[in-house]
Structure 1
């Protein structure tokens, strides 16, 4: 009997599973056929076992008739953590490992779906170690012949990572949605700590923002600490050794996976397990940190690290939104307060003030205006400007009513400078009064408004007469002396004021002094006026601006003079700009010098104490270690000597005297490599490269001072590249007499120098306007230039702000002096 299956007819595709079942059925009833198929079956079974036993998933085979597991691949022991022989002996052991919350569902699904020929479920198992894994378990019927299936072949895959990713994504989406409703910093802290900490499985979570000076963390929310510990963590110094502090200093997340490593890195904290922290950054600006603590050790996966960064970024953005919300709320409150203050000042002003709209009709007037014009408020508001203002004999109107909305009004709106002059006003009873008027056209939210202030001329002329009698004496005073009314209008301006500020008398009188000079008071103008009104005098320093835009500092004395109902102020000022700037620069220089001297002195003191203890110990003295300690003292003493020499040079430069140049032949390339090697040890974030086309470059220069010049250039390159970056040092030589010229260039990629500061960068005590937050005395480059120039060389700089600087020293080799 042939076991060869019949050929399919042309044009039809054979049903291969049916053919295999047919062949198997015939072989089952034919011993000869069985004999022939055994090798094939053995090879097939061998290939199946090789496949099943080498894949990561678990392959299983169950007999539906009695529930036995007839085959189980070795991956079961790795994934389940159990001996597969136990399951082969008792199939019921499979259900014991299924998570209790999933056990009933999975058992029912297997009973239901297996009979239907398909099984596909996702569930959890709990291994003997307590680890929880998610599985996708699929089963398919195996058919032999044409009868019903009595076995199910299945494959179980570990989908834990996928489910965790899905859960984490869902958690991040929920956290984002919760942050959308958080409008205060405290609400943001609650969402990040409670939801974000749980998302990463942390037992401890802290969200803190930096204080205004950046020295402390101000905790917004924390969880996981007992109350007595939490109370101590409301404000945390950034200098304290914590994982959050390190994240802030580095500007990037920090992950510590073991308690031992955590204890070693942060010894001030009693720690038990892993920790992580991420900085809170908004447009590159550091505003705080997120800290996480774990009960035990933990390996942080890439997904864990990305999630921590994402949660920190979401927290930073939410805190920034909360800050902007607070700013908007404060701005609204400030606007309401400003309106109240405006009404108080407007209604309380001694001068008559009128406000008209673009159509030339009055919309507001203060009590002084109603009294001067003799109108009730309701009768004046809505009245035309032309009904009130009348030109004086032969004079133009200060405010021309017919042209308020025409070209004159438009031109005035473009420049809100006040116009002043003598004006005649018509009172409500028809009488005319001569007044001094000041007017301006201003842009307001509701449109253009026209502001006019009126003052009785008779009172002003009395004041002018009184001041004029004193003018001759005051004009001869060396200080700037001027007078202004309580509202700030200048009424007197002496020659000293003209000299100091650059404004002639006619340009100053009638202007508001604080606007003219852009005066900045230490505690604000309102507090200054309150103090002056209370005490009658005020002395101190003010910041003002000359006519050419130069800012100055003046030493001032204000005296309040009261004459009846009128009050005015006499202000006497002396320019102390240079004196104050010199004092500040000298203070900065002394602070920097004392700091530089203190470091080596501290090392010398430490070494001396160490050597003394060794000598007092009474035991044998190790000559090598003793010599090493003495050598360190000598090294630090040399550094002090170099600093003192540098201070002596600075003193000579300040006195306009040259420094003593001590020339000797030496190799500039070797010196450069030596100095660069020293600086490479000071910063890991600033790789320093040397480009030198020649192995040696001999010249006759002052070796010690060239060492100082190069050290100053490298110090500046590192200091003014706060974000790190490469520093390039290039040495080249130009041909010429006596060996030609040596060129030494130092290039960084740091903050650069503003264009306005480039011409002054080599001047004493001058620094770039963009480096106020970086310490320095402003003397290093000035000293470097004098040292280079005294050796016949030049030092130049090329720089673009925010793109770095290149300083180039060019020296004649002067080999004939060797």
Structure 2
């Protein structure tokens, strides 16, 4: 329920009283209707009682709070329905006081709802007099303060809980104000320092610090107070010491935090006496002197993996000096890439058996990887309780390398033998085929036969090259990298596809003359494109359209942030798209995993797309997949272009990107990352931006800002309310709305044509910042065009 201020309550009460005191109040139906309207629309509880305490009016707010309707309570004494037993008599006393003329007054009591819940109500009560001066009506105007009461109780409980935690904490907890005077001193602090809380509250913190450290401590507090950080380990500046009531100093470990309060800054120190630990460390150092000459790395760490001792052998092996290592966590020193799998298991075995031995992979100070044979022993104190871990590590890195080399040599020898045998057999198969083709070309001279034989010969020769590639792989050699013009490769693939694919599949391709070259292995790139085309064929069992398109693209920082595998630079983009069955959203992230396939038993190995991914990444590129069930799939292969003077010149000719002048753009997309990056890009280039994560939110925002929004950028594929539906809704609000449609599927470019002239441009995802900015500039500063432009990303 909405709450009113005290002044609001008084004002409403006065208005109601004035209106009710007018002549003929409640004497005719019109006046009764007026009062009913006032009561029902009041934002607070309003109840009117007669002189006997019977309910004569009961507004909607009362009904909502109590769950009783007015008809249920009309004419009944309100204390019989709403009051808890222990408050009936006090409330009756207030009622009689009002009836006797002692008004107005304020009162607070509980009301019982219909389901038995207690609600705390604060009342402003008054009485209305009849013409004879006697009290005729008692009016109560109330506010439900139950939630405030509960909040106060929760705060009190929280404070009590906090006090309990502070009181029984294992660390000394000391809080000081900005003048460094103590305002909190818990029980553990009393035990450590020997003072009672009463002795130190209000005293300066200096009484707990040795005199030789007070100046540096004050400087530290001043610096920390002015810094933006809220917490710090005080031991970062070296060892710290406290001083007990009896004058004895002791080493301590402490951290400090600060909070901003209305009264100023509050500083809290959590401190632990580490006297026993320091003494134990000293004993260990004395004992360890005897171990420094050992070749193995010998170290001791506590149960939380903090290094207590670091031998000379450890210094030689890892490169960290003892001063650098002691006090650090062993995980930070030796496992910068995360704990090795055996680490946690080793702790469990150590706790159960008291010792553990096994191999671990570790890192030296300079980042070199080591393999060590590690032996752990649990050290116990006089009571038999675990207190530290003795570790002896032996470097076996070279030994493991030799073992790996031997195993690799055996494996590669086996693969080489197998590959050699396969290559021999395959070459025996291919040789007569190649020789026969030449004879067949001489015998069958008609154009159709020559074309088929030429295709057969090209395929056989490529098979021979693939056999050679298998041998190269088995011997550990990489594919040859040469300058490759993708146009030639694609023309050859299209020729084969037209001869081999079903006639129900329409093959289209686009090869611009200015396409950049790439550095790659032609056979591997051929394999990539053939794999994608074969997958497209399998996705269109009833026929469809297979399209291969190429373009030059410059990937900017904006696009690279949107796609993890992308890097800024010049790329040749090869797009293979189909109009097949599409890939369901729940499996599209798995399609590049080895052995993942949606084909039936014996129809696919699940290695095709994982091979494609490996080859593309091996060429320094990346690949993106977009799909919509029932509409088709699109793969975009990005391959780094070879640098040339022509490319650099073209980049220079692009000039500065167009900028906005404060125009308001509405961006609609269900991908949060795309919304944020698009917003950042547009705002960086002078636009104001509103964002919506779905069509419903977009329509609501546009309705509120219709006169301000100049262009709407709409994703075509969104849940709930998709792009086309959103565009139609926007057109109803404003038939002249200017829209840029965007989608990862080129097929959606056809879909927007049916929507009308509102869609000015179709952007193919992923789009770069320059294409988005160019599209906006084209809409906001239109030029004569033939048809609707399309900007491919």
TM over 0.5: no
Instruction: Output the TM-score relative to the length of structure 1.
Output: 0.32
